[in-house]
Amino acid sequence: MPNRWSGVTIDCADPSRLSLFWSELLDIPPTNEHGDDTNWATLGSRTSALPRLTFQRVPEPKSTKVRLHLDVQVDDISAGRRQVEALGGSWSGIRHDYDEGVVMVMLDPEGHEFCLVQYFA
């Protein structure tokens, strides 16, 4: 069997809250892979076509920029920003305009960086 990418795990203080933010942003329903264990929350599953997102409670707070982040493609960068902010996230103030599109660095409710990306045609 070939190697496959099965998911991304995000360390956080509140797995339930963070999974709800990402569930709404990406329109992926939460799953109950971990039962009543409040230290974990998951979107998607190992059998889904797309990789799953798992949120793991850790005791230490985020302290520096994350070296890996998600890119979320949107049709309209301004509408994407408004959605993130309505869900409890925020804009970092960083925006990059390229010939092929626009990238805005966003923060989820716990301060994890991710990018909204709008590609031009």
d(CA 95, CA 52): 27
18, two tokens: 């963070």
What tens digit of pLDDT does each residue of 32-82 get? 777 789 999 999 988 888 899 999 999 998 888 887 899 999 999 999 999
Which listed CATH number (3.40.640.10, 3.40.50.300, 2.60.120.590, 3.10.180.10) goes with 68-120? 3.10.180.10
As assigned by CATH, the class of the 1-59 domain is alpha beta
Question: What residue spans define the domains of the chain?
Answer: 1-59, 68-120
Q: How confident is the model at residue 56, as a pLDDT?
A: 95
Q: Do domains 1-59 and 68-120 have the same CATH topology?
A: yes
Amino acid type, 98: Y
| Average pLDDT of span 94-115 | 96
User: Whole-prediction pTM value?
Assistant: 0.88
